[in-house]
Amino acid sequence: MDWGNWFSDANNVVFLVVALVMVAASVRVVTSPNVVHSALMLVIALAGAAGLFLMLGAEFVAWTLVLVYIGAVIVLFLFGIMITRAPTGRDPGRLDHARRWPAAVVALGTFVTIATVTTLAFEDRPVSGAVTSGGDLGEVLFNRYVIPFEAVSFVLLAALIGGIVLARKDPER
């Protein structure tokens, strides 16, 4: 592979920059002592993933990731942190330096194993060039799969009501 030609393509350079930002933000998610900072770094990592999906031509997946994960899940995390008033600073009693390196080795080994298995599993399969628009996906979702879609909406509604009941302060206590 000729790296000079690789860097001459703008798509490759943008991919490299976005990937490096995602890796840096992901590392800060798990190493930041402040939970709010971790959630904000997760927003950056997920925005990078949405950018990569846009580069691949999967606009629906990218915007779904932005709306669902960045727009809803991260806001839910931040509300949960703020409502519970959980301590957000460093807890010196919980840091165990003796287990950091073995955990890093296990994480790296797991990553290499998963990357190798998935690479080998799809090595000889052709890449499909068909791109489905968001309109086609919406038509299938709301015509063919309307019952499962509505069932999932009721499950999410029940989870929302359960969360409100659990977070509510009981005046009788």
The answer for residues whose C-beta is within 8 angstroms of residue 11's C-beta and 6 or more apart is 55
Tokens of 158: 């029940």
Model pLDDT, residue 61? 87
The pLDDT assigned to 39 comes to 86
Report residue 142 CA to chain centroid gap: 25
CB within 8 A of 37, min separation 6: which ones? 28
Hey, CA dihedral for 90, 93, 97, 103, is it positive or negative?
negative
Q: What is the mean pLDDT of residues 27-38?
A: 87
Cα dihedral value 41, 42, 43, 44, nearest 10: 60
Q: What is the pLDDT of residues 90-121, one digit of tens each?
A: 565 555 677 778 888 999 999 999 999 988 88
The answer to whether 81 and 35 are in contact (CB under 8 A) is yes
Every domain of the chain and the residues it spans:
1-90, 130-173
Residue 35 has pLDDT above 90, yes or no: no
Mean pLDDT for all residues in the chain: 83
pLDDT on residue 34: 82
104 or 170, higher pLDDT: 104
Name the residue with tokens 């009721």. Answer: 154
Does residue 28 have a pLDDT over 60? yes
For residue 21, give Cα distances in angstroms to 33, 46, 52, 87, 129: 19, 11, 12, 28, 28
Percent of the chain with pLDDT over 70: 84
pLDDT at 86 over 70: no
Residue 94: CB atoms within 10 A of its CB come to 6
**Cβ proximity of 69 and 44 under 8 Å:** no
Look at residue 62 and tell me whether its pLDDT is greater than 80.
Answer: yes
Predicted local confidence at residue 166, as pLDDT = 80
Which pLDDT value is given to residue 94? 59
- CATH-assigned architecture of domain 1-90: Up-down Bundle (1.20)
